[in-house]
Amino acid sequence: MFFDRGIAMKFNCRSRRSLSALPFLLIPALLFASSISAQAVMDQVEHKYADSDGVSIHYAKMGSGPLMVFIHGFPDFWYSWRHQMAGLADQYTVAALDTRGYNLSEKPEGEANYDMTLLTADVAAVIRAEGESSAVVVGHDWGGGIAWSFAAAYPHMTDRLIIMNLPHIKGLQRELASMGQQH
């Protein structure tokens, strides 16, 4: 079976040197988790909240081991990660957050409350709420953009970075700039 390294790769923010087999754990996790019912996941999930400078950020947590934080894309919420959570919970403490404005997380008024610096601070708040100093961070789609920004702003809190369905942030910025104004 062929796997494109661009699909998901280890991004060791401390040394920035090595690729890892960690992304390849996601594929078997998906296969294993597909046999687990949604109700079984719901029965095992613990719902928690992190305080991010006065904004309540909801996340669902299960498993034990090193912390792995999942950030959903648009227009999803934590539940979109249920299969990955079920498949990885025997090796990791998995925490899938609802980004601010989504599902059970607080929805502050005003566009300024959704600045990328605040979205990345929300991820840091979840890691701290779990009593950890760092985590493997996984992002999909818009959550991938948050994850890239988190790794840049908080390299000391990022053990590894896995991005799906989003190019590197510099490539994305280049492409958006070449397209002109978006509506």
Helices (H), ranges, 12-115 = 22-33, 38-44, 82-88
Q: Domain 48-179 adopts which CATH fold?
A: Rossmann fold (3.40.50)
b/e map 52-64, b = 16+ CB within 10 Å: beebbbbbbbbbe
Two structure tokens written together for 175: 């492409």
Q: Is 86 helix (H, G, I), strand (E, B) or coil?
A: helix
List C-alpha distances in Å: 114 to 1, 33, 78, 117: 40, 33, 18, 8
Q: Is the dihedral of CA 5, 94, 50, 43 positive or negative?
A: positive
Crossing angle between the packed helical segments 142-153 and 116-129, to the nearest 10 degrees? 80
Domain boundaries, the chain: 48-179
144 CB-near residues (< 8 Å, 6+ apart): 71, 73, 163, 164, 165, 166
Query: Do residues 24 and 174 make contact, with C-beta atoms less than 8 angstroms apart?
Result: no
pLDDT averaged per 10 residues in sequence order, the chain, 183 residues: 35 45 60 60 91 99 98 96 94 98 98 97 99 98 95 98 86 80 59
Q: Is 132 helix (H, G, I), strand (E, B) or coil?
A: coil
What global pTM score does this model have? 0.77
The pLDDT score that the predictor gives to residue 21 is: 58
The pLDDT score that the predictor gives to residue 170 is: 81
The pLDDT score that the predictor gives to residue 13 is: 46
The pLDDT score that the predictor gives to residue 5 is: 36
pLDDT digits (tens, 9 = 90+) for 46-88: 999 999 999 999 999 999 999 999 999 999 999 999 999 999 9
| Residue 163: CB atoms within 10 Å | 26
Residue labelled with tokens 């498993």? 63
Q: Please calculate the CA angle 178-147-80 and round it to the nearest 5 degrees.
A: 105
Largest pairwise CA distance in the chain: 47
